[in-house]
């Protein structure tokens, strides 16, 4: 799935855009700190709303870092500026992705995780556009580099994407297959993708195609779950499944 972007195309651009990220909110673990997850909001939202959702979850051993995306003109909104992790146009299988915006956000997230203690497991999750960046970060981890070739510095242990899609899906398999190390990293990373069947913003078929693409590229532990009657939002039973999955995949013991 791809989105048109006015900066992309020939690769001959001479000036890099700069991105000013908004405020980051942190939810401290209520028990022993065993994992840290960066959670990414959707288009037009902010880190505060994410933190308010996450602090109510029964996951006492997780520290949540909830950044806020830069405010930028967004093509799908007719150029109206709002918080967005990258520029996005109409949903389609055609056209280029906003690689510069994707890389800038993925690097910002990795930087937030890079200072966590060595014995703390780290992961990324998100909703909608935030899920797209989480999945893109997973591909950067597998390849060992961002789209621009700069090394990816973080050892991800889990990725969650709710009501999202995978940017850059068309070329992913070719990029993973060329390297034994990339295949090994892809095969090691558990991923959970969830989607409402009635989603009319990011249709469920895009979530399903993303899961299929990840599996075909060598990500062996991809779970894709759908929810009947659910649109473009999260519901308690979905978050319950996220909690159960994180506890299992990260080996959290609930200790105080």
**180 or 92, greater pLDDT:** 180
**128, 169, 182, 210: which one is catalytic?**
128
| Residue 2: band (very low, low, confident or very high) from pLDDT cuts 50, 70, 90 | very low
Q: Compute the mean pLDDT over every residue in the chain, rounded to the nearest whole number.
A: 88
**5, 103, 199, 210: which one is catalytic?**
199
Active site residue 128: yes
Q: Assess whether pLDDT exceeds 50 at residue 4.
A: no
Q: Assess whether pLDDT exceeds 70 at residue 76.
A: yes
Active site residue 232: yes
Active site residue 137: no
Q: Assess whether pLDDT exceeds 80 at residue 5.
A: no
Q: Which of 164, 156, 126, 114 is nearest to 139 (CA)?
A: 156
* Cα–chain center distance at 229: 24
Structure confidence at residue 209 (pLDDT): 92
Structure confidence at residue 90 (pLDDT): 73
**CB-CB contact of 65 with 37 (8 Å):** yes
- Name the 3-class secondary structure at 219: coil
pLDDT digit string, tens, across residues 217-226 = 889 999 999 9
The residue-averaged pLDDT of 153-180 equals: 86
Look at the alpha carbons of 145, 146, 150, 153 in this order and tell me if their dihedral is positive or negative. Answer: negative
Token pair 């990029």 in the structure block, residue: 175
Q: Assess whether pLDDT exceeds 60 at residue 7.
A: no
The residue-averaged pLDDT of 106-129 equals: 97
pLDDT digit string, tens, across residues 28-41 = 999 999 999 999 99
Q: Which of 199, 190, 197 is nearest to 242 (CA)?
A: 190
């Amino acid at each position: 799935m791809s989105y048109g972007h006015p900066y992309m195309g020939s690769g001959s651009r001479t000036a890099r855009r700069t991105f000013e990220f908004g405020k980051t909110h942190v939810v401290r673990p209520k028990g022993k700190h065993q994992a840290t997850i960066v959670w990414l909001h959707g288009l037009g939202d902010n880190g505060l709303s994410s933190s308010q959702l996450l602090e109510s979850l029964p996951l006492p051993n997780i520290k949540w870092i909830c950044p806020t995306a830069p405010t930028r003109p967004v093509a799908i909104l007719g150029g109206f500026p709002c918080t967005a992790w990258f520029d996005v146009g109409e949903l389609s299988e055609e056209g280029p992705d906003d690689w510069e915006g994707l890389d800038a956000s993925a690097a910002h997230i990795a930087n937030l995780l890079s200072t966590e203690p060595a014995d703390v497991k780290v992961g990324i999750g998100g909703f909608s556009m935030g899920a797209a960046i989480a999945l893109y970060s997973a591909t950067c981890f597998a390849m060992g580099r961002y789209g621009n070739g700069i090394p990816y510095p973080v050892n991800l242990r889990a990725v969650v994407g709710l009501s999202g899609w995978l940017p850059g899906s068309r070329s992913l398999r070719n990029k993973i297959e060329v390297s034994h190390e990339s295949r090994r990293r892809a095969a090691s990373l558990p991923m959970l993708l969830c989607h409402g069947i009635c989603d009319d913003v990011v249709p469920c078929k895009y979530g399903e195609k993303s899961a299929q693409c990840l599996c075909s590229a060598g990500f062996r532990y991809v779970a894709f779950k759908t929810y009947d009657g659910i649109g473009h939002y999260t519901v308690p039973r979905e978050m319950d499944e996220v909690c159960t999955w994180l506890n299992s995949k990260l080996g959290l013991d609930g200790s105080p």
